[in-house]
Chains A and B, each alone.
Chain A
Amino acid sequence: METLEKNDIKSQFLDLFSTEDISKNPVRYKALEHLMHIPAPTTKDEFWRYTRVNKLLKKNYQLPGYEVAEFDQSILKKLPLNNEESTLVFVNGVFAKDYSKIVNASIDLIPFSDALVEQKYQSFYNKLANNQKRFFDAVNTAFHNSGYILGVPTLSNEKVQIIQIITNDNLLLIPRNLILADTGAKITIKEFFINQSGVENALINQLSEIVLMPNSTCNYYKYQNLSNNALIDTTHILQNQDSAYNTHLASYNTAFIRNNTLVQSSGENTTTTVNGATLTKENEHIDQHIFIDHQQPNCYSNQLFRTIADDKSTAVFNGKVMVRQDAQKINAFQSNANILLSDFANIYAKPELEIYADDVKCSHGSSTGQLDEEALFYLRARGIKEKTAQKMLISAFLNDTIDNIEDDTYTAFISQEIEQLIQ
């Protein structure tokens, strides 16, 4: 193993984690070896042009403990949780059994364990993560310290809630998730990343691998509201034929978020919808990165992102669609609209299409502007105060993204939160 400079995040990782433990596990060890050769991304890196991570990586972090920390339970009450759904609660990454439950014994829903991976899920584990090239993938594979495995058998329909609560400052949380929807199965996951009030400077580097067998469906709704903490969330999705992946990202009120939604459509007739609502304020920085790789014909994908940036914040949208040579008859759509509420806010939007097939229908639209003046005047001319009118338009704009969510309680919750955030 090579030596590392002090102050380097890698050396911090190595100090924090026991290399002895890691070397016992060939997958982790291999990723660690890769990591030695991959530099942390800089803005010279095409995919990280608008998002700097060096400051994040220079902070000092602490690992989770082994006990479930005490936490203020009122934060759970605020979430739109359904008592009839299987639920896993993690506090600082530690599985909190007392708050969790499984309602259906026929599914696997368990905290991540290397041992389990070796038995049942070996053929799926670590197949999508790209540890050779992606820094945060390699970090996650080598050092993951939380997460879950979810396996839903053929033809069953399951709803699951995952809650990750942060109560420690400077926590380094590295969840690793593996999700397998067997043939014809349907999985709906609501995932909540939240922090106890006042907690700051935590870094979360999550990686999920989702394998969708033929004819299966996965709905993944991500709620990211982490105040003064940072989240790097990478989701790799492998779609086999006739499968559907449908995700919504609600990203706001968080100092730093980078989402990577990376879809490989490797079967015919797949459907993919990736929607997101981003709202940034103060010095927040939220970056939505999407890559949909159409490798097979007759598929549909749609991206719908709406962004509001206020104060001195920065929001990034980089949605890319690739249509490979053999992937004929693809319908791939992208719609991205952004509104700047302040002269000091920044929005970087980069929709990309890379098409090698000739019989495809693709469209991408991206616009950045201010609130619609005509609409604003119309509302005011009916007696609505300027401030209220602005709020109505902002919330309508962001709510445009929530149509693909199949859970009314959750949808109402997101709408309501958005309304409160734009006070």
Chain B
Amino acid sequence: MKLLEVKNLHAAIDGNEILKGINLTVNEGEVHAIMGPNGSGKSTLSAVLAGKDDYEITEGEVLFKGKNLFDLEPEERAAEGLFLAFQYPVEIPGVSNMNFLKTAVNEIREYKGLEPLSAKDFIKLIKEKAKLVELDPKFLQRAVNEGFSGGEKKRNEIFQMAVLDPKLAILDETDSGLDIDALRIVANGVNKLRRPDNATIVITHYQRLLDYIVPDIVHVLYNGKIVKTGDKNFAMELEEKGYDWIKESV
């Protein structure tokens, strides 16, 4: 079943067009990789999908689970099962990870018409998911991302993903800033969360992560457009040849 359909999406900021006609379809069970040089528009695409309102949608549409994505507020998209692991996770002093996640879990449950989780069930859920990404439970008492190292922030993103259990996760450069051990832990977490009824978009500009999270489909985003699409071997090819040949060929 189709989870996400992006059709001829154009988006601009301050009058500058950054996404110039993106087409992308993601089905349940699939892992897509989006690669491409810096400044291509990868983070812009993920931010537009998650609902950041800095961007103007100038053309095109996006359906998520058949619903018009742009009719939904960011929190409604999240409640429907869209998850963005931020390239630059935000520090929120004074809000503990615990309080943050508890609020998120229960507001999503409220959206779905479910009762809030009991304190006991919530703790159980948190403990189980923390284990999955090998996160020290001490992190839970700390303020969201405050004073976290780059790697800790990324791991915290995957932890949140594990807790919220999304239908579609978009991982924006989750591998950057991770050493090889952390990379393995993060990839391992993502793989364990894979199911036939969910999907993942992995944004990266290194092939390295794709050794661990093996994609079904690989796209190259360049200058606001998807210029090439291939299978997992295509990523290998890109690693060897770099992006210059793509820049030249378009």
Residues in A lying within 8 Å of B, measured CB to CB = 372, 374-375, 377-386, 388-389, 392-393, 395-397, 399-400
Contacts and interface: CB of A to CB of B under 8 A. Distances in A.
Contacts of A396: 92-95, 143
A378 B86 contact: yes
A382 B76 CA distance: 9
A400 B93 contact: yes
Main SS of the interface on chain B? helix
A384 B75 contact: yes
Nearest to A377: B52
A378 B92 contact: yes
Interface in B52-95: 52, 73-75, 77-79, 84, 86, 89-95
17 contacts: A372-B92, A375-B92, A378-B89, A378-B144, A379-B92, A380-B74, A381-B77, A381-B84, A382-B164, A383-B78, A383-B111, A384-B103, A385-B75, A385-B107, A392-B100, A396-B94, A396-B143
A311 to B, nearest CB: 23
Nearest to B144: A378
B160 interface: yes
A380 B108 CA distance: 11
A383 B92 contact: no
Contacts of B160: 382
Contacts of A381: 50-51, 74-75, 77-78, 84, 86
Contact of B104 (A374, A384, A386, A393): A384
A383 B75 contact: yes
B50 A383 contact: no
Given A386-B73, A392-B103, A380 B90 contact: no
Pairs A-B, 3 closest by C-beta atoms:
A396-B94, A383-B78, A378-B90
A168 B155 CA distance: 58
A383 B104 contact: yes
Interface in B5-42: none
Most buried by B among A375, A381, A386: A381
Nearest to B96: A396
A372 B90 CA distance: 10
B149 interface: no
Contacts of B79: 383
Contacts of A375: 90-92
Contact of B51 (A372, A379, A380): A380
A305 B99 CA distance: 24
Interface size class of B (residues with CB under 8 A): 20 to 34
B140 to A, nearest CB: 15
B73 A380 contact: yes
B247 to A, nearest CB: 31
A276 to B, nearest CB: 16
Contacts of B94: 395-397, 399-400
Interface in B85-137: 86, 89-95, 99-101, 103-105, 107-108, 111
Contacts, number: 75
A384 B92 contact: no
A375 B143 CA distance: 12
A380 B95 contact: no
Interface of B: 50-52, 73-75, 77-79, 84, 86, 89-95, 99-101, 103-105, 107-108, 111, 143-144, 160, 164
Contacts of A383: 75, 78-79, 104-105, 107-108, 111, 164
B107 A388 contact: yes
A232 B90 CA distance: 40
A389 B104 CA distance: 10
Contacts of B107: 383-385, 388
A386 B93 contact: no
B51 to A, nearest CB: 7
A383 B105 CA distance: 8
B93 A380 contact: no
B73 A392 contact: no
Contacts of A392: 95, 99-100, 103
Residue among A374, A375, A382, A385 with max Cβ neighbours from chain B (10 Å): A382
Contacts of B111: 383
Given A383-B105, A396-B95, 7 more contacts: A372-B90, A381-B77, A381-B86, A382-B75, A388-B107, A396-B93, A400-B93
Contact of B78 (A380, A388, A400): A380
A130 B150 CA distance: 54
A366 to B, nearest CB: 17
Contacts of A399: 94
Contacts of B143: 396
Contacts of B74: 377, 380-381
A392 B94 CA distance: 9
Contacts of B50: 381
A197 B73 CA distance: 40
B103 A393 contact: no
A390 to B, nearest CB: 12
A374 B51 contact: no
A379 B73 CA distance: 12
A392 B144 CA distance: 12
A97 to B, nearest CB: 42
A381 B91 CA distance: 14
Contacts of A379: 92, 95, 100, 104
A414 B210 CA distance: 49
Contact of B92 (A380, A386, A393): A393
A393 B75 contact: no
A397 B93 CA distance: 8
Contacts of B95: 379, 392-393, 396
A383 B82 CA distance: 9
B92 A388 contact: no
B75 A380 contact: yes
Nearest to A373: B54
B229 to A, nearest CB: 27
Contacts of A397: 94
Nearest to B76: A383
A35 B14 CA distance: 61
Nearest to B104: A382
A151 to B, nearest CB: 38
